[in-house]
């Protein structure tokens, strides 16, 4: 059975988007365009704190009932926060969608935000922060951005800091929710066994009375701070992120960037994996990545290696980066990487949950559905010249940042000049 994607905007500005594909399950998500990027400086972590807190109880459901109303039907419910959004989502059998929407709307619209619950969740989040700090591979990405985009909300951790979480109170959290949870900043997305018009009416019944609108403001882009940043830790390995500027989510060259990053370090056949791990055995884990936001992004390479191998590992990564910017990728690399990316698309969208995530993100960033065949055509059209030109723009050594976590300091690293 084929798929049908439709979108409707309610009278209050809330967007409803569905993909009907005849599945026995349906994933539903309520997406709010409010994340750590939208927080005030003293209140870092507010979005994530609220995401936790709404699950503690609403005007009509206890914390247990929120989970039980979904789980007794065989479904699941959860939430997450990013730098640019908060999402509450559920997956149930298709016939239980009305229950899922009722529970999700209850979370978003009627949380109690009780003082005693705030204190309990404060302790939980402080433990979550400590857990992240105890995981060098997780911590280094936050640390890199904190140093690379200093003082900007995109450089702040989604979880907040120990200092900011201790100082958050009910007035701050309630105020942030009042300002951020406006219908014109919300998307309700569903994928699976769903009928669009009936789902729109369901959303109108649960969300249609919401009021309020967000003032349009121009996003403030961070400045890049190049350099070497070190966070000493008494651990066996040195974790390193080598970062450069990147492109935004909506940049028309986003598929070119996918080819570039994937060929450089996107799998076991990639350049960096083969050179650093397979040929020289310098690192167990190494990969390239790009993190893209609405108006900016960054591109990086992560590796974990020993102190003795750190300098050599960084040298090899930067050599490859320079080589791609200078000479581009071979025709074989281009075709192999494009084949990998095209083949991975349907695999990544096998579940109704991943389909729902894609629907919402397309609506959030593009204001429309981006058909898969459009993505495939764009990937297929990527040329070697496209990749080389973008590599020369991204791999700007005057904006290179290197973050180290472990038994190392900045003196170990000499940043080359391209």
pLDDT the model gives residue 1: 44
The mean pLDDT of the chain is 95
Encoded tokens for 79: 């939430």
Residue 171, pLDDT > 90, answer yes
Cα-atom radius of gyration of the chain, to the nearest Å?
A: 23
Predicted TM-score (pTM) of this structure: 0.95
Strand 186-192 versus strand 15-20 pairing type: parallel
In 253-400, beta strands by DSSP E: 283-292, 297-305
Provide, rounded to the nearest whole percent, the portion of the chain with pLDDT above 90. Answer: 93
Contact between 129 and 230 (Cβ < 8 Å): no
Residue 417, pLDDT > 70, answer no
Domains and CATH numbers, the chain: 4-207 (3.30.830.10), 227-412 (3.30.830.10)
What is the distance, to the nearest Å, from the Cα of residue 216 to the centroid of all Cα atoms in its chain? 23
Give the Cα separation of 211 and 230 in Å (integer): 47
Residue 174, pLDDT > 50, answer yes
DSSP β-bridge partners for residue 305: 238, 283
Contact between 173 and 49 (Cβ < 8 Å): yes
Encoded tokens for 220: 């403030």
Give the Cα separation of 273 and 76 in Å (integer): 36
Handedness of CA 348, 349, 351, 357 (dihedral sign): positive
Question: What are the pLDDT digits (tens) for 136-150?
Answer: 999 999 999 999 999
Encoded tokens for 90: 């559920």
Indicate the burial class of 382 (C-beta count within 10 angstroms; 0-12, 13-18, 19 or more): buried
Question: What are the pLDDT digits (tens) for 274-318?
Answer: 999 999 999 999 999 999 999 999 999 999 999 999 999 999 999
Handedness of CA 90, 96, 98, 102 (dihedral sign): negative
Residue 216, pLDDT > 80, answer no
User: Cβ–Cβ contacts within 10 Å for residue 309, how many?
Assistant: 18
Indicate the burial class of 118 (C-beta count within 10 angstroms; 0-12, 13-18, 19 or more): middle
Strand 4-9 versus strand 15-20 pairing type: antiparallel
Give the Cα separation of 62 and 68 in Å (integer): 10
pLDDT the model gives residue 2: 59
Catalytic residue numbers read 51
Question: What are the pLDDT digits (tens) for 59-97?
Answer: 999 999 999 999 999 999 999 999 999 999 999 999 999
Give the Cα separation of 269 and 279 in Å (integer): 12
Residue in the structure block whose two tokens are 């970062």: 243
Residue 418, pLDDT > 50, answer no
Residue 23, pLDDT > 50, answer yes
Contact between 156 and 44 (Cβ < 8 Å): yes
- At 411, the pLDDT band (50, 70, 90 cuts) reads low
Question: What are the pLDDT digits (tens) for 362-396?
Answer: 999 999 999 999 999 999 999 999 999 999 999 99
Give the Cα separation of 247 and 155 in Å (integer): 16
- At 215, the pLDDT band (50, 70, 90 cuts) reads confident
Contact between 262 and 337 (Cβ < 8 Å): yes
- At 413, the pLDDT band (50, 70, 90 cuts) reads low
pLDDT the model gives residue 95: 98
pLDDT the model gives residue 212: 86
Query: To the nearest 10°, the Cα dihedral for 36, 41, 42, 46?
Result: -10
> What are the contacts of 396-399 at 24+ separation with CB within 8 A?
396/244, 396/245, 398/226, 399/224, 399/226, 399/244, 399/245
Encoded tokens for 46: 């507010």
């Amino acid at each position: 059975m084929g798929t049908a994607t439709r979108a409707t905007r309610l009278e209050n500005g809330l967007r409803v988007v569905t993909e009907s594909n005849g599945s026995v399950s349906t994933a539903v998500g309520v997406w709010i365009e409010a994340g750590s990027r939208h927080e005030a400086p003293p209140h870092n972590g507010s979005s994530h704190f609220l995401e936790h807190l709404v699950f503690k109880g609403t005007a009509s459901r206890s914390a247990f009932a929120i989970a039980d109303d979904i789980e007794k039907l065989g479904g699941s419910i959860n939430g997450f926060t990013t730098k640019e959004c908060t999402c509450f989502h559920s997956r149930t059998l298709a016939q239980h969608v009305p229950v899922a929407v009722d529970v999700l709307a209850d979370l978003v619209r009627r949380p109690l935000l009780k003082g005693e619950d705030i204190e309990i969740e404060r302790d939980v989040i402080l433990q979550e922060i400590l857990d992240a700090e105890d995981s060098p591979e997780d911590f280094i990405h936050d640390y890199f951005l904190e140093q690379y985009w200093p003082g900007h909300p995109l450089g702040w951790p989604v979880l907040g800091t120990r200092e900011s979480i201790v100082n958050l109170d009910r007035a701050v959290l309630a105020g942030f929710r009042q300002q951020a949870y406006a219908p014109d900043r919300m998307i309700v997305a569903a994928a699976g066994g769903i009928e669009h018009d009936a789902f729109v009416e369901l959303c109108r019944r649960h969300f249609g009375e919401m009021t309020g609108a967000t003032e349009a403001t121009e996003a403030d882009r961070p400045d890049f701070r190049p350099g070497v940043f070190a966070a000493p830790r008494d651990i066996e390995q040195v974790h390193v992120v080598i970062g450069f500027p990147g492109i935004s989510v909506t940049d028309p060259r986003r598929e070119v960037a996918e080819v570039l990053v994937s060929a450089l370090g996107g799998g076991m056949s990639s350049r960096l994996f083969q050179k650093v791990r397979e040929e020289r055995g310098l690192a167990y884990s190494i990969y390239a990545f790009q993190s893209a936001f609405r108006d900016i992004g960054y591109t990086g390479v992560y590796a974990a290696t020993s102190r003795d191998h750190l300098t050599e590992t960084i040298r090899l990564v930067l050599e490859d980066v320079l080589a791609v910017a200078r000479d581009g990728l071979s025709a074989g690399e281009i075709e192999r990487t494009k084949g990998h990316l095209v083949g991975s698309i349907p695999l990544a969208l096998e579940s109704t949950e991943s389909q729902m995530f894609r629907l919402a993100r397309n609506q959030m960033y593009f204001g429309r559905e981006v058909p898969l065949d459009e993505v495939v055509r764009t990937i297929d059209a990527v040329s070697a010249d496209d990749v080389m030109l973008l590599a020369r723009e991204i791999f700007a050594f005057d904006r290179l940042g290197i973050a180290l976590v472990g038994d190392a300091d900045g003196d170990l690293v000499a940043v080359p000049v391209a």
